[in-house]
């Protein structure tokens, strides 16, 4: 029994001596963190996502989830494709998603706080400028003035009727959420990434939000890798 105990003791000592080498070998075999990026367009703005992680499969799955979520948000807020906002502007009424209700609610509160300086119903004014003031063709001054007056009469965020499932605007009124929706989407995507296990990332979807520090131990700058 004494000999067996000694042999076992020798084996334990030998194993313990080799343990650091084994750990070092396992660590060396593990993949090192690196950048994973996606570039695209969100609400008409050039956008980029940069993730820092060692797990390539996890990063690829997360980017795919992000792309699906961005497509879903485009279907709510976009002015450039079929969306809840474009249908509201076209028809004057739309069955709305919770996200659209939330953003319009925040927008109306901001409109009140700012005394109307922030107003999501400025879309008719943008259309007027695009069709007349930015056009190279000559437009008679009286037509310009009359068009401006009509557009100006349709700008009043307080006239947007937002219920929990249905949103209505008066005839001719139209909204744009480009002044707030990009920030909303950026925050939602950053939260999604954090929930997926990413502690270092830069989200640039028309607005910027950083998770953690840059891998070099400094704050992220405007450009994702810089």
Which H, E and C letters describe 86-152, residue by residue? HHHHHHCEEECCHHHHHHHHHHHHHHHHCCCCCCCCCHHHHHHHHHHHCCCCCCCHHHHHHHHHHHH
What confidence score (pLDDT) does residue 26 get? Answer: 46
| DSSP string computed for the chain | -HHHHHHHHHHHHHHHHHHHHHHHHHHHHSPPPEEEEEEEEETTEEEEEEEEES-HHHHHHHHHHHHHHHHHHHHHH-SSSS-HHHHHHHHSEEE--HHHHHHHHHHHHHHHHTTTSS-TT-HHHHHHIIIIIT-SS---HHHHHHHHHHHHHT--GGG-EE-SSEEE--TT-----TTTHHHHHHHHHHHHHHHTT-SSEEEESSSEEEES--TTSS---SSTT-
The more confidently predicted of residues 16 and 59 is 59
pLDDT band at 8 (very low <50, low <70, confident <90, very high): low
What confidence score (pLDDT) does residue 89 get? Answer: 97
Q: Which two tokens stand for residue 120?
A: 């999501």
pLDDT tens-place string over residues 108-158: 999 999 999 999 999 998 888 777 665 555 556 666 677 778 778 899 999
Q: Read off the pTM.
A: 0.80
What confidence score (pLDDT) does residue 149 get? Answer: 81
What confidence score (pLDDT) does residue 22 get? Answer: 47
pLDDT tens-place string over residues 48-59: 999 999 999 999
pLDDT tens-place string over residues 68-114: 999 999 999 999 999 999 999 999 999 999 999 999 999 999 999 99
Q: Taking all residues of the chain, what is their mean pLDDT, rounded to a whole number? A: 86
What confidence score (pLDDT) does residue 130 get? Answer: 74
What confidence score (pLDDT) does residue 4 get? Answer: 53
Distance CA(4)–CA(202), nearest Å, equals 59
Q: Which of the listed ranges 7-16, 147-156, 164-173 does the model predict with the highest average pLDDT?
A: 164-173
Distance CA(145)–CA(176), nearest Å, equals 23
What confidence score (pLDDT) does residue 33 get? Answer: 95
Q: Are 208 and 182 in contact (CB under 8 A)?
A: no
């Amino acid at each position: 029994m004494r000999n067996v105990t000694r042999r076992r003791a020798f084996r334990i000592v030998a194993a313990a001596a080799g343990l650091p080498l084994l750990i070092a070998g396992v660590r060396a075999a593990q993949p090192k963190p690196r950048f994973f990026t996606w570039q695209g367009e969100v609400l008409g703005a050039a956008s980029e996502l940069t993730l820092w992680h060692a797990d390539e499969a996890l990063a690829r799955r997360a980017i795919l989830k992000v792309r699906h979520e961005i497509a879903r948000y485009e279907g709510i807020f976009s002015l450039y494709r079929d969306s809840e906002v474009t249908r509201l502007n076209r028809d004057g009424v739309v069955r709305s998603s919770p996200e659209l209700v939330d953003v319009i609610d925040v927008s109306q509160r901001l409109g009140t706080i700012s005394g109307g300086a922030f107003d999501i119903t400025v879309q008719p004014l943008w259309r007027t400028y695009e069709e007349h003031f930015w056009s190279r063709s000559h437009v008679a001054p009286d037509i310009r003035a009359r068009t401006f007056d009509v557009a100006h009469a349709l700008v009043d965020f307080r006239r947007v009727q937002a219920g929990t499932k249905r949103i209505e605007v008066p005839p001719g009124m139209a909204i744009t959420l480009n002044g707030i929706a990009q920030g909303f989407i950026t925050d939602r995507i950053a939260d999604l990434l954090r929930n997926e296990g990413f502690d270092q990332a830069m989200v640039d979807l028309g607005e910027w939000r950083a998770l953690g520090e840059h891998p070099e131990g400094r704050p992220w700058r405007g450009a994702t890798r810089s």
